[in-house]
């Protein structure tokens, strides 16, 4: 990955169009916004920290659960928009390993919404050629949820249009610890030599395996922190923070984040394209 080649966003949209039936009007809008030379096209992997459900509800005098319910509508809109825009992988931080510390009633509401989402939307996701994958620690996942998550993964395993990754009972530090433990076990069992552990073999033991790292991480609702999300995988991600509360997030908000991303220069610790040309 060099990330430094300069290309017009419209060019990469056209390529995506051939591959995944991209929504032409959306492509035109994004291209029109950026009808200049831009460093990046459509990010292959977008990850979102969906924040602000509670504040959205509070500002309307509604219970927090109403914010979470409307948050699920935003999930539906965003999955659809990601497919239309040619985003290959969309990762959503649905429930962190720390969220269990919320009041019992809120945890129960969130579990109910996730179950309802899988039961109600799985068939449509499958029809839309969306592959569902889950990351997070599967130990201690309630027994009425785990089979649903497994069924979603099994049913959609061959789908190719968009990959929807749901981070459930997920924590970045926990992901790293479980990967370290898995590698330590392999060393102890003589399956691998400790000298051969490198960044690639370590990453392969994370929940995300050999998937592409997120190109863009979006966080809604004005907070500017990672909150234990994809700590390893975010090493070279671009960040876009928006004040929009998650329940209000929609295709336009996603397009705005993509337009911001398109302007960023990704250097991966090297020199930018201009400096490289000067050095050459």
Which residues have a catalytic role annotated? 51, 99
Q: With binding defined as CB under 6 A, does residue 92 bind ligand FPP?
A: yes
Instruction: Kindly indicate which of the ranges 16-24, 49-57, 134-142, 233-241 contains the residues binding ligand FPP, using the contact rule CB under 6 A.
Output: 49-57
Of 185-214, which residues contact ligand FPP (CB under 6 A)?
none
Q: By C-beta, is 99 or 129 nearer to ligand FPP?
A: 99
Q: By C-beta, is 41 or 67 nearer to ligand FPP?
A: 67
Residue 134: name the closest of 178, 175, 170, 109 by CA.
170
- The CB-of-68 to ligand FPP minimum distance in angstroms stands at 5
Size of the site for ligand FPP (CB under 6 A): 19
Q: With binding defined as CB under 6 A, does residue 43 bind ligand FPP?
A: no
Of 214-273, which residues contact ligand FPP (CB under 6 A)?
221
Q: By C-beta, is 92 or 230 nearer to ligand FPP?
A: 92
Question: CB of 250 within 8 A of CB of 84?
Answer: no
What would the x/- binding string for ligand FPP be over residues 108 to 127, using CB under 6 A?
--x--xx--x----------
Question: CB of 68 within 8 A of CB of 109?
Answer: yes
User: What is d(CA 165, CA 153) in angstroms, rounded to the nearest whole number?
Assistant: 10
List contacts with ligand FPP (CB under 6 A): 50-55, 68, 71-72, 75, 92, 94, 99, 110, 113-114, 117, 166, 221
């Amino acid at each position: 990955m060099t990330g430094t080649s300069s290309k017009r966003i419209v060019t990469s949209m056209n390529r995506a169009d051939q591959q995944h039936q991209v929504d032409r009007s959306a492509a035109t809008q994004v291209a029109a916004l950026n009808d200049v030379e831009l460093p990046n096209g459509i990010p292959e992997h977008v990850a979102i920290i969906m924040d602000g459900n509670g504040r959205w509800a509070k500002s309307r005098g509604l219970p927090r659960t109403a914010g979470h319910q409307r948050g699920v509508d935003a999930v539906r809109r965003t999955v659809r928009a990601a497919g239309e825009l040619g985003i290959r992988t969309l990762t959503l931080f649905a429930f962190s390993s720390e969220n269990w510390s919320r009041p019992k009633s809120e945890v129960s509401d969130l579990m109910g919404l996730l179950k309802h989402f899988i039961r109600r939307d799985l068939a449509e996701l499958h029809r839309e050629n969306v592959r569902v994958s889950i990351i997070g620690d599967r130990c201690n996942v309630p027994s009425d949820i785990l089979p649903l998550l497994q069924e979603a993964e099994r049913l959609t395993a061959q789908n190719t249009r968009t990959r929807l990754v749901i981070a459930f009972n997920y924590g970045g530090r926990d992901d790293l610890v479980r990967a370290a433990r898995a590698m330590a076990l392999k060393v102890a069992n003589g399956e691998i030599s400790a000298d051969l552990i490198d960044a690639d073999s370590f990453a392969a033991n994370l929940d995300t395996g050999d998937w592409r790292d997120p190109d863009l991480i979006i966080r809604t609702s004005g907070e500017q922190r990672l909150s234990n999300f994809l700590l390893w995988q975010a090493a070279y991600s671009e960040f876009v923070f928006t004040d929009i509360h998650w329940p209000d997030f929609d295709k336009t908000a996603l397009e705005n984040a993509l337009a911001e991303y398109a302007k960023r220069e990704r250097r991966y610790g090297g020199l930018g394209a201009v400096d490289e040309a000067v050095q050459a």
